[in-house]
Amino acid sequence: MFENKEQSKTPITDLGEFGLIKHLTNANKKVNATTVMAVGDDAAVIENTQEQTLISTDMLVEGVHFDLAYAPLKHLGYKAVAVNLSDICAMNAIPSQITVSLALSNRFTVEAIEELYKGIYLACDTYGVDLVGGDTTSSNAGLVISVSVIGQAKAEDVCYRHMAKEKDLIVVSGDLGAAYIGLQLLQREKAVFEVNPNMQPELEERHSYMLERQLKPEARKDIVELLKKMDLKPSAMIDISDGLSSEVLHLCEDSSLGCRIYENKLPIDPQVVNTAEEFSMHPSTCALNGGEDYELLFTISMEDFDKIKGNPNMTVIGHMTAKEDGANLVSSSGDMLPLTAQGWSSIEKTE
């Protein structure tokens, strides 16, 4: 991070578009039986199954979604894949194939893109997905990464946002707020570096969890697999990319319901609590509005509570209510506050 060293590198123009693709995908291997043809022809070929196919696409734009001043390219490649796989997991499905498309400015070298692909391939290995295609083109505005992901699930297993029921319990996997605090740490050190490039980042070991949550998030495929082992299908599900409050409100709107979220039930790591205080932030604000946690938020019937009771991977944080009751946060002091979406928005308003 914060490197300013000049090194001799290979211009992408030495290979050209097709040469670069061949160079990057030469060692590509397939692991899924449904992948008939991966990279190497005009289109990928995927075997249809008796399951339903799910498709999602996401785009990461330099200067909007990431900053290469503190985002290592290998981590960025991994994150680009993981955040897309999370969308498939949020449908209670298993991802199987991805495509990756890049728009590159001429400041990127072959070695730099190799580093990006190291992260992409690491994510493919970690989650058992196949890289089956993509595209490269030039860019006048830095790096753009577009990843499409394909997954499968039985029709009866797919979870949608609009199927939550009144009195359903609201459950979240993992813990919240760490990715946002990790971002604050990185932005603080970038500001110091810009004032004095000779200063080295002061990122302590105690910050490692929060930095990893920001730079190398994980898709919760393991939760999808765990739910299946529990014989538990959520009534509705979404992943937490834009902040817990925003995602809860999506479930409420799509299901025509209200909710109550209890502040004292929010799962927040002690490291996040301590570091948030250093930034004069309330930990609950980080959990509610921070975003990029990529945990799964889902609803279950009250009858299924015993299946998750005591499970360290899941926390009940509230319940769905009638629409007319509204979406509310019950504070630690017992006050009822309207739940508002203050998290990340990918489309900024302009005057």
Over 50: is that where the pLDDT of 226 sits? Answer: yes
* CATH code at position 217: 3.90.650.10
Q: Are residues 174 and 276 in the same domain?
A: yes
Domain residue limits at 246: 161-338
pLDDT band at 229 (very low <50, low <70, confident <90, very high): very high
Q: What is the pLDDT of residues 93-106, one digit of tens each?
A: 999 999 999 999 98
Over 50: is that where the pLDDT of 350 sits? Answer: no
- Domain boundary (156, 189, 205) is at 156
Number of domains in the chain: 2
Q: Are residues 279 and 311 in the same domain?
A: yes
pLDDT band at 253 (very low <50, low <70, confident <90, very high): very high
Provide the whole-model pTM. Answer: 0.87
Q: Are residues 119 and 188 in the same domain?
A: no
Mapped to the 3 state alphabet, what secondary structure does the chain carry? CCCCCCCCCCEHHHCHHHHHHHHHHCCCCCCCCCEEECCCCCCCEECCCCCEEEEEEEEEEECCCECCCCCCHHHHHHHHHHHHHHHHHCCCCEEEEEEEEEEECCCCEHHHHHHHHHHHHHHHHHHCCEEEEEEEEECCCCCEEEEEEEEEECHHHCCCHHHCCCCCEEEEECCCCHHHHHHHHHHHHHHHHHHCCCCCCCCCHHHHHHHHHHHCCCCCHHHHHHHHHCCCCCCEEEECCCCHHHHHHHHHHHHCCEEEEEHHHCCCCHHHHHHHHHCCCCHHHHHHHCCCCCCEEEEECHHHHHHHCCCCCEEEEEEEECHHHCEEEECCCCCEEECCCCCCCCCCCCC
- Domain boundary (156, 189, 212) is at 156
Over 80: is that where the pLDDT of 135 sits? Answer: yes
- Domain boundary (156, 176, 210) is at 156
* CATH code at position 72: 3.30.1330.10
pLDDT band at 4 (very low <50, low <70, confident <90, very high): very low
Q: What is the pLDDT of residues 25-54, one digit of tens each?
A: 666 677 777 766 555 545 556 677 788 888
